Structure 1
């Protein structure tokens, strides 16, 4: 059993040799199945110029996914404030909240959303990477403009460090912590967030959503097979080679890891909830309790939508009543 509410971070991937458009029907099916199963919310991330991640703007994806579902909350995880004019973000998410009242989350993050320096410069119109002061001003501006609208999305601040956690606390925002990216920072960041939290119009109390890399399959071996392609991509990032195209499981299985590479992956492997339903449920429950989360968000980096759907179905089957919305259809 998993005693915390469960949500989904959908980062749609596509295998080398296929197109981004081919992944769209699978992502739609996943959102609809997540709603049927009773997951709390589904979020979409902002990416640019990736060889294996959809580069569709979160607001565009959200508009479609909210239209093909009826009750699950739909949000950005996140939309990256330095890449956008605050007024534009406020208008986009205000419009979404008006079309789908009570269902829209505005998850705001900082990173560029790309490993491509040319894309990052184009997004910023040649300006350098945003510093702490500019980012803080952008977030404050978005919140101020959003707050003036009649229909208001629920804002969250994304964080992967103690600095991000402190900013979420200062603003009185719910915090979504990227445990799947920086698990080593989670304990200190959550502690700082709770210690420094200031109640605001957005939240009376601190709220922590923890995103955990999760791959659930019928057997341990199958879960490991599904995880291997993204491990190969991660090795490219850790070794400085940048993003690589995503291999399918069969091609990835032929790629042997050296002892040094296995050591490089060890930190992420320990933090990942991987294996059978029972193993994943136990890992998620223990992680949520240890870090002090109020909600868990499952990040399943598997290119095949059918496998991602089966993953969330297996987890829903062992999650328990408190994890899922009882009103799900």
Structure 2
């Protein structure tokens, strides 16, 4: 039995459903954040992706401001900023500005991947590969720009100096685990699509973690795909939109999120492909009771401190309902959590 409650949050990609405009998509993003705030979600993160018909989150700082302005208490941040695409100085200025506008509510998650294909990555920044190799040093630059001590240097981001914007290392490999542990930063693993190295990465991070001014002990987050509905059958139908999206990613057939359909023979066959099975390994789909058991098992196996849920559902009301049911699941799981002191006394 777990000894502590598990935090639950949302990773939002501003998925563009077929027939929706970008403005409608962004309105739905804010609507979801407002619902999440009322349901007790800890944070609402915006991803960075480029050159995609199905993802509207290409400028996280702008969307973070949009969401933070329309909410009151939920933490809002990046999941993440793909740092090799950007100047650390500009990132510090952007998030320092956000941190001043919305004090103690802004998170800065940083990743190394481009968030797009190689051609687009080169169009964003011609020296992308060099910047990617410099990722650890680029994080240090951002930390320096946020430090009050940076006032004595010639290159500054005054809007960021001394502002409370926590940094998170995002990753999908063991490299990111070593880095997060070395720097003593919280670690978020992208297990909602990159599943193979999850347990290796968590083990490395915990074993190598070095306490820092930011964090005294390891803090782990894991991404999971969540689709919850009233019945298993309805959830599986809604999940066909996700399947088609992932198939499109693998085949290069990029298009807006498609309406759900019955599970066809073609989709069933695609689902058996090893690559797709691996990518969707941590996809929890079904009724509330079905997903509750899957989530409880995942928490027990990984011991993560926080789940960050990704839900790509075609209909906005269905997506709101899925996140509502997932919040209920997490509250029920956490209500069954026994404090360490009770567990040590033999209560559990």
Q: Tell me, yes or no, whether TM beats 0.5.
A: yes
What residue is the counterpart of 1:309 in the other structure?
320
Q: Relative to structure 1, is the Cα distance of residues 246 and 255 closer, same or farther in structure 2, using a 3 angstrom cutoff?
A: farther
2:163 to 151, 176, 179: 151
- Deviation of 1:133 (Å): 3.3
Q: Is the 8 A contact 1:4 1:285 kept in 2?
A: no
- How far apart are the structure 2 equivalents of 1:159 and 1:13? 21
Q: Relative to structure 1, is the Cα distance of residues 249 and 101 closer, same or farther in structure 2, using a 3 angstrom cutoff?
A: same
- How far apart are the structure 2 equivalents of 1:318 and 1:288? 12
- How far apart are the structure 2 equivalents of 1:278 and 1:261? 23
What residue is the counterpart of 1:276 in the other structure?
287
> For each residue in 1:186-245, what CA deviation from the matched residue of structure 2 results, as whole angstroms up to 9, or x when unmatched?
11100000011111111111100111111111111111111112212212333x435344
Highest Rg: 1 or 2?
2
1:170 to 182, 187, 211: 182
What residue is the counterpart of 1:210 in the other structure?
222
What residue is the counterpart of 2:94 in the other structure?
92
Q: Tell me, which stretches of 5 or more residues in structure 2 are unaligned? A: 149-160, 336-348
Q: Tell me, which stretches of 5 or more residues in structure 1 are unaligned? A: 325-329
The secondary structure found in structure 1 opposite 2:267 is coil
What residue is the counterpart of 2:344 in the other structure?
none
The secondary structure found in structure 2 opposite 1:183 is coil
What residue is the counterpart of 1:327 in the other structure?
none
What residue is the counterpart of 1:232 in the other structure?
244
- How far apart are the structure 1 equivalents of 2:32 and 2:256? 23
- Deviation of 1:136 (Å): 1.6
- Deviation of 1:100 (Å): 1.2
Q: Relative to structure 1, is the Cα distance of residues 246 and 318 closer, same or farther in structure 2, using a 3 angstrom cutoff?
A: closer
Q: Is the 8 A contact 1:210 1:288 kept in 2?
A: no
What residue is the counterpart of 1:257 in the other structure?
267
The secondary structure found in structure 2 opposite 1:51 is coil
Q: Is the 8 A contact 1:23 1:305 kept in 2?
A: no
RCO higher in structure (CA 8 A, sep ≥6): 1
1:196 to 195, 199, 208: 208
What residue is the counterpart of 1:122 in the other structure?
123
- Deviation of 1:247 (Å): 1.6
- Deviation of 1:253 (Å): 5.5
Q: Is the 8 A contact 1:12 1:303 kept in 2?
A: no
Q: Is the 8 A contact 2:13 2:57 kept in 1?
A: no
- How far apart are the structure 2 equivalents of 1:79 and 1:242? 25
Q: Is the 8 A contact 1:74 1:103 kept in 2?
A: yes
Question: How many corresponding residue pairs?
Answer: 320
| Aligned residues: CA RMSD | 2.2
What residue is the counterpart of 2:26 in the other structure?
24
- Deviation of 1:19 (Å): 2.1
